[in-house]
A = this chain, B = another copy of it.
């Protein structure tokens, strides 16, 4: 079982409009509501591809009930700690051209709620092959929260975060970090992707997998360095592609696949998320079609 932690989950609301015009009134043609937040998306993808998963984190208010209800309805096991404040929404307005995003601020989390959550984790992680920590932190939660959780948990941690939290997670000995190239160079101040990834390993991370959009991925691991890329461009919406990559890397850890195989899966899952217009889902026929099209190369940097 792969446990995902989402400290700042969301109800993702999608509005379809004909054309977004600032300062006009829009008739919304279609409304879609789904459970969101990066860790929740990882659980949704894992569940869809057939890997046992459980989602935990912090949920509050009617939006929190909606996230819990949607995951339960999808058959995904949940064990969120309740909080008094209300889980945020994101509103994504899509028109024929692109998406316009409005991110509500997250709820404030009290010290008592944080203690209740961390106190629940040991029991929850029993039987977990790894724990995925992903996404932003709500107000009231220390920026070093992921590092605290890495140190606390008895199982390997896969962490998808950015900024100082990325450095802190490395220092706390995260098993796998999955920044994108921009997040990696921003956090480390190092432009070269390999050197920056190696810097995080020097700080304490076991493996660093860097996602590079359509240019594929670079994995710097204790067993060597590999790059992987797809032989074609996929049209669609890249939102959620990173979460699908994280899901694949956690699944690869769980099954003990070798690095070339993990990277092949991560590139294929990530690309198979692109044709789906919302996060937390891959197109399964596309996934099957793309696996053989991924090229994995051993690097000698």
The answer to whether A110 has its CB under 8 Å from any CB of chain B is no
Minimal Cβ-Cβ distance residue in B for A62: B62
The minimal Cβ–Cβ distance linking A283 to chain B, given in whole angstroms, is 24
Q: Assess the A97–B62 pair: CB atoms within 8 A.
A: no
Q: Which chain A residues (99-123) contact chain B, with CB distance < 8 Å? A: 99-105
13 contacts between A and B (CB under 8 A): A20-B100, A21-B22, A22-B100, A23-B99, A25-B100, A25-B101, A26-B103, A28-B103, A31-B105, A62-B62, A62-B66, A91-B102, A93-B102
The answer to whether A144 has its CB under 8 Å from any CB of chain B is no
The minimal Cβ–Cβ distance linking A103 to chain B, given in whole angstroms, is 6
CA distance A104 to B31 in the complex (A): 7
List residues of chain B with CB within 8 A of the CB of A183.
Answer: none
Q: Assess the A28–B105 pair: CB atoms within 8 A.
A: yes
Q: Which 4 A-B pairs have the closest CB atoms?
A: A23-B98, A25-B101, A62-B62, A20-B22
Please report A residues at the B interface, Cβ cutoff 8 Å.
15, 17, 20-29, 31, 62, 65-66, 91, 93, 95, 97-105
CA distance A65 to B62 in the complex (A): 10
Q: Assess the B26–A102 pair: CB atoms within 8 A.
A: yes
Q: Assess the B65–A24 pair: CB atoms within 8 A.
A: no
Q: Assess the B27–A103 pair: CB atoms within 8 A.
A: yes
Minimal Cβ-Cβ distance residue in B for A65: B62
CA distance A235 to B164 in the complex (A): 45
The minimal Cβ–Cβ distance linking A18 to chain B, given in whole angstroms, is 12
CA distance A64 to B284 in the complex (A): 37
Known: A22-B22, A23-B97, A97-B23. A102 touches B17 (CB 8 A): yes
The minimal Cβ–Cβ distance linking A29 to chain B, given in whole angstroms, is 8
Q: Assess the A102–B22 pair: CB atoms within 8 A.
A: no
Q: Assess the B105–A24 pair: CB atoms within 8 A.
A: no
List residues of chain B with CB within 8 A of the CB of A26.
Answer: 100-103
Interface centre among A25, A97, A102, A103 (most CB of B within 10 A): A102
CA distance A91 to B14 in the complex (A): 12
List residues of chain B with CB within 8 A of the CB of A23.
Answer: 20, 97-100
CA distance A62 to B23 in the complex (A): 28
Q: 16 extra interchain contacts, Cβ-Cβ under 8 A, other than A26-B101, A28-B103?
A: A17-B102, A21-B100, A22-B97, A23-B98, A24-B101, A25-B100, A26-B100, A26-B102, A26-B103, A27-B105, A28-B104, A31-B105, A62-B66, A91-B91, A91-B102, A93-B102
